[in-house]
Structure 1
């Protein structure tokens, strides 16, 4: 069985050997046992069920939550000669009939189905009549009720265990902390399943988080400096902000499209299609976007607003660099983000236990933002994967943050909250500390307070930074009813009494020094660098790939992804035999596209010599 799995991997998918524990997972499933697989985005999860589907007799049923995700995978599979189809609401009746006939006659290797359809009695009766080789439950974290992608229909999938007791099941996800992992096992009845946990470390992603100061301008500078022609995703919290940012980017000369839940299904699908097909396209989206995205050449993911949890951040940033080439996860956040998320949380109608968990998740996210050490260490620690050494591939490793003793400043800020009656937001509190004679200060008689004007040693932006860090670290609560009024909590007592010292971060909006910026550029973080002498061949191969993609109406990366193209550029194969050893070129692609690329490369090699 392992020989035939390796043959499928090499001849169909074009990879020399299995990565990590892929081979073990495949053996587990092909021998009829259940498995739970946790593997980061781009780690090769889909091969864990696609290879068994081609090795085992019968049809593999893949449960997938989004139509776009199914269509993308099927498009890729058909390119390598695999018989794969999907049944979902977008399939016409005529097409549905054809697919079902292929299923009944055993002519399908894989059938992708939405969980809602799979759970209907009619669909299960149809499956009773065919030989099902395995069930693959993709995006299994959708079963978690306190996860960010919860899908109620996933809860019913435990039925598969009793209805099809002899069919192995494999559940897969890219994001799950210990709690979510346990929930997947319980809700899907996978208590006998072997659990495989891969490293969560996406070493090719460069992480950078800065304070927000005119976020859109910061985004533009980042794009111009580091990703002038690349495709990427920009995440925003609100629909309005998505629309505004997309329109603004277009006005700045970048191709950008919006994506959010308030758009029609047609417009969303059209924009997603263009993002997949067109090079250099940026999609600006709310959290509604992304789970169905299998695009391997996303070179950056930017956040203009703070995500609610590390899982959400990890999953969203994980859409960058799925091909393993360098990519950037960039984010700016500010005091308003912190206060807004605190407000949303305290407004939550969820059960107390879930509220407590949501609060822990937000604390962890804020810790990642406010950390003074290595970001990757904090990120991986959250997923129970301690990293001993600093990563050397995040902003804080390249340029350590400056800290200062903020004990006295924090005490002044907390005293000001107390003296003003815990009824005011940050702007007014900063005015009082700076001794500003505003109408509001006069109205409430705050000129007479002992805290009036005691903070003149700092600027307004510096006081806002102090308040942000106090809110982020939980010394101050944000009152929902009081329009963002700040209130003290128990945690601040030792600080006020002088029994605790507090180190605060020096805010940084870009790289503090040109030296650090040069260091980033010199190690090519987040970018794929092509030598000048290779650029004509690179452009010619991309151009040929684009022509082939347009002829077939598929995204360019479905023909050959950037990583495969990059390897071809380095090795320059001038024969079909040499090309067959390039990762990602299987028999089907070799036969279909081999000659055209070999001739193209040969022409360049001859002209150079």
Structure 2
């Protein structure tokens, strides 16, 4: 059902002063951040726009405010029911008349939504791209004046992106179906090629394109190489990392459904409130699990990539990749689930050679043009080159997205504890030559034994090869590092071979460049201990729990009292707690102790609707806390 309040739209043409007033009145923020004002101004003027803003950068506000201020109904195209539900519930809490149309909406509620829309009582209507494919929906929308059309998660339109959805490719027809209606496309992750595809596919040729910095200074990134770790060791590492963050909300990404179920159960056995989530579950089951994660403090979601896009749980303090994703775009999208409230958070990735082999097999099995497949393979290699490299991780990601002037962050694991790098070009030449001589018939360990001259029961054909025993100056672990690095770089490839991988040569031209000394190979020296034996990544400098613990006891007591009050209100309304107030808003209230509604309304994040709805009882809860 739409919100009960009448539309907030102004009858007169609106400008940026109106936009700032609405931002303060509804969202409780004093002004726009970053490029928000530029994007809002463009949309208010009725012009098309593409906005690439970082996760947590307020993309939704960029179309919600113009949709409210311009005359007519704002149409929002969103890819997921969970995302639509989350945004609509948040808008209703803020007093905005919003509704969604999806398979979970009853016929009676649908009728009520259309009545409200025809009466001009609805500001925003959320629909899916599949819904827009239905002629009857288009016919009904033609009966209404539209203020704008917003296309959320616009990277889904591009086959070059990491989350391509064919239904998004049809959204270009909106230019013909609703001529004169401004369109705004927003996303958090799109490299230059993806941005070009978005503009072309959505027919946004005249659109202004805004690309903000991809910096997320509150996120501390780290990566740990799995080496040849078994599933048991990887699971143990994840359990240990989560245990050290006990009581915090987090997300653990796994590469398979079985992995999700296994890791979630292991975490529950270890005393963590862990919830599994993957596409193998029924829709109702997934919805219940998502609702639990959003509502329960300290919950940990263990999920495949079926979970994540657009989930706006503000207080996720960590994201752990038990299995890495397939590209830097997917990595940044998934890591971006953490720290959306701007408070310190962590992104930790466990990775190994078997992961990139799995990613490449998955890509090879997908029906896609060879040109697209080649690009996606390159994206996977770029991700693993970053994970196994020695360059500041946020800097590497930002430069990938085109920020050539990005500096070092100063506190990722690379910056905090710079790894030793050595020139392994000669050793790489030896390893490549050994694989070539062996004809791609053996796995990594057998190749290393050959280089060390330690092959058991060696046959004359092998011992007579020029590469037999030429690597005795390097330790077995050292050769593992080199071979793994060559796999990450694509100079070596693994054939799955029914679970017994065989190593062969990769790109011929790249291999020749190494042989000729035209391409240098620099390898990161990995500590002897890894995964569970390695000390955990250094924690973020400004850990939120530590900051709360450092507060005076009376401030902590007020903060916890306010959280308990919020939890009760959320349970009564069946909405996530952060939809009512975010933690940082409650913390500021606990610190400043506002004694009146006017003082409470001056706190960032307290809009007029929430002040009217919750102000008096929140102040009573604050007074009761002493």
Q: Is the shorter-chain TM-score for this pair beyond 0.5, marking a shared fold? A: yes
2:45 alignment partner in structure 1: 31
Could you list the runs of 5+ residues in structure 2 that have no partner in the other structure? Answer: 1-13
2:546 aligned with 1:505:
no
**For 1:344 and 1:120, how far apart are their aligned partners in 2?**
32
User: Which runs of no fewer than 5 residues in structure 1 stay unpaired?
Assistant: none
Whole-angstrom CA distance in 1 between matches of 2:544 and 2:611: 30
User: Which of 69, 92, 99 pairs up with 1:55?
Assistant: 69
Q: Is the 8 A contact 2:225 2:388 kept in 1?
A: no
**Correspondence for 2:220:** 206
Q: Tell me which of 500, 503, 508 is aligned to 1:486.
A: 503
Q: In the alignment, is the contact (CA less than 8 A) between 1:343 and 1:484 conserved in 2?
A: no
Q: What TM-score comes out, normalization by structure 1 length?
A: 0.93
Which of 559, 584, 603 aligns to 1:538? It is: 559
Change (3 A) 1:204 1:444: farther
In structure 1, the partner of 2:305 is 287
Residues paired across the two proteins, number: 599
Contact 1:246 1:256 (8 Å CA) reproduced: yes
Matches of 1:73 and 1:312 in 2, distance apart?
A: 22
Q: Is the 8 A contact 1:58 1:106 kept in 2?
A: yes
> What displacement does 1:573 show?
2.2
Cα distance in 2 for residues equivalent to 1:459 and 1:595: 70
Choose which of 217, 220, 230 in structure 1 pairs with 2:236: 217
**Secondary structure of 2:284's match?**
helix
Counterpart secondary structure, 2:314: coil
Specify which of 164, 180, 196 is matched with residue 150 of structure 1: 164
- What's the CA shift for 1:413? 2.3
Asked if 1:339 is matched to 2:332, the reply is: no
Q: For residue 601 of structure 1, what is the aligned residue in structure 2?
A: 622
Match of 1:135 among 133, 137, 149: 149
Paired position in structure 1 for 2:129: 115
Deviates more, 1:413-422 or 1:487-496: 487-496
Q: Helix, strand or coil: the match of 2:547?
A: coil
Asked if the contact 2:390/2:414 (under 8 Å) is kept, the reply is: yes
Provide Cα deviations, 1:384-433, integer angstroms capped at 9, x if missing partner.
01244311131111111111232343333223213322211112223333
TM-score (norm 2): 0.90
- Mapping for residues 383-398 of structure 1, pairs under 5 Å: 383-398=401-416
3-state DSSP class of the match of 1:299?
strand
1:245-272 Cα distance to aligned partner (Å, 9 max, x none): 1111111111111111122222211111
Distance 1:243 1:251 in 2: 12
2:492 aligned partner: 476
In structure 2, distance between residues paired with 1:513 and 1:115: 46
Cα offset, 1:206, TM superposition: 0.7
Which digits, 9 at most, give the CA deviation of each residue in 1:350-403, with x for residues without a partner? 322112211221221122112212111110011101244311131111111111
Alignment of 1:8-407 (within 5 A): 8-212=22-226, 213=229, 214-225=233-244, 227-347=245-365, 349-407=367-425
Question: Contact between 1:326 and 1:527, CA under 8 Å: does it hold in 2?
Answer: no
Stretch moving more, 95-104 or 66-75? 95-104
Distance 1:239 1:459 in 2: 37
Aligned equivalents of 1:410, 1:546: Cα separation in 2: 57
Aligned-pair distance for 1:475?
2.1
TM-superposed CA distance for 1:188, in Å, is 0.8
Contact 1:372 1:505 in 2 (8 A): yes
Alpha-carbon distance in structure 1 between the residues aligned to 2:391 and 2:603 = 39
Q: Take 2:349 and 2:339, find their aligned partners in 1: how far apart are those partners? A: 16
- Asked whether the 8 Å contact 2:28–2:608 carries over to 1, the reply is yes
Tell me how far 1:69 sits from its aligned partner. Answer: 0.6
CA contact 1:205–1:526 (8 Å) conserved in 2: no
Distance 1:563 1:392 in 2: 24
Q: Which residue does 1:556 correspond to in 2?
A: 577
**Distance of 2:544 and 2:404 partners within structure 1:** 23
